[in-house]
Homo-oligomer: A and B are copies of this chain.
Amino acid sequence: MGKHLLRDLDGLKKELLTSGSLVEEAVNDSIDALVNRRMKLAKEVIEGDYEINQRENKIEEECLKLLALHQPVAGDLRFIITVLKVNNDLERIGDLAVNIAERALYLSNNEPLKAVLKFPRMADGARKMVRKSLDALIGMDTKLARNVLTLDDEIDDLNREMYSTLQVIMRENPETIDRAVHILSVSRYLERIADLSTNIAEDVVFMVEGELIRHKAVDSS
């Protein structure tokens, strides 16, 4: 590998990790805003998405530049393509944090529903998946990547649990339906964040081992 390519790939990794940290923080803050009814924080998440989007564009440009400049093959080529895809997934996770923050704004303006209190565990799990999938990418660590996949099952379970709980609440008290539908959406957003992290982990395994582990199942929650 040429010295310049090596340096540029290192730069790319750092950029991606910074995006990852921003996205993780956005997920964290959006749930904090939701659970603790912090409207100002929710607005900050919504405004902060601009930077995440700008960074996505910049990283994509950087990948294209590296491809054109160095014409990498084999492992390097596959790494850059993986970064391109992961970059896209991170931006989508950022959007989901914005979606959660928007629901937080709505819910903060209404009487609290007890069901909200279950989110920190789900959010914590989803955030860990984002972090671990990126660490797996940077460290080419397929063991860690496979570990992410097992975490996804837990989030799926929590999401289903949330659905059952909320359906009962709605049935018992139809006054709660508006809020419950918003809370259901948040649960779904977290589940999608976990799914996107799963995509990243699957891409890492594919990149390193050439083994396709995606498409084994379609989530039905």
Identical chains in the assembly: 2
The interface on chain A, measured as residues whose beta carbon lies within 8 A of the other chain's beta carbons, has a size of 41
Q: Are the CB atoms of B78 and A74 closer together than 8 Å?
A: no
Interface 9-mer from A1-9, A107-115, A170-178: A170-178
Interface-facing stretch out of A10-18, A35-43, A126-134, A212-220? A212-220
Given A167-B177, A178-B167, A49-B218 contact (CB < 8 Å): yes
Chain B residues closer than 8 Å to A57, beta-carbon distance: 212, 215
In angstroms, Cα B99 to Cα A49, docked, is 28
Quote the shortest CB–CB distance from A188 to chain B (angstroms).
Answer: 7
Stretch at the interface among A80-88, A141-149, A150-158: A80-88
B181 with A163: CB separation less than 8 A? yes
A64-102 contacts to B (CB < 8 Å): 64, 67-68, 71, 73-74, 77-78, 81, 84-85, 88, 95, 98-99, 102
Residues of B within 8 A of A177 (CB): 167, 170-171, 177
- Checking B63, B174, B181 against A184 with a beta-carbon cut-off of 8 angstroms, the contacting residue is B181
On whether A99 and B218 interact (CB within 8 A), knowing A167-B177, A177-B170, the answer reads yes
Beyond the given A71-B73, A102-B220, A174-B174, could you list 20 further A-B residue pairs with CB under 8 A, ordered by the A residue number? A49-B218, A50-B215, A53-B215, A54-B215, A64-B77, A64-B81, A67-B67, A68-B73, A84-B84, A85-B88, A88-B88, A95-B218, A98-B218, A99-B220, A163-B181, A167-B178, A170-B170, A177-B177, A184-B184, A188-B188
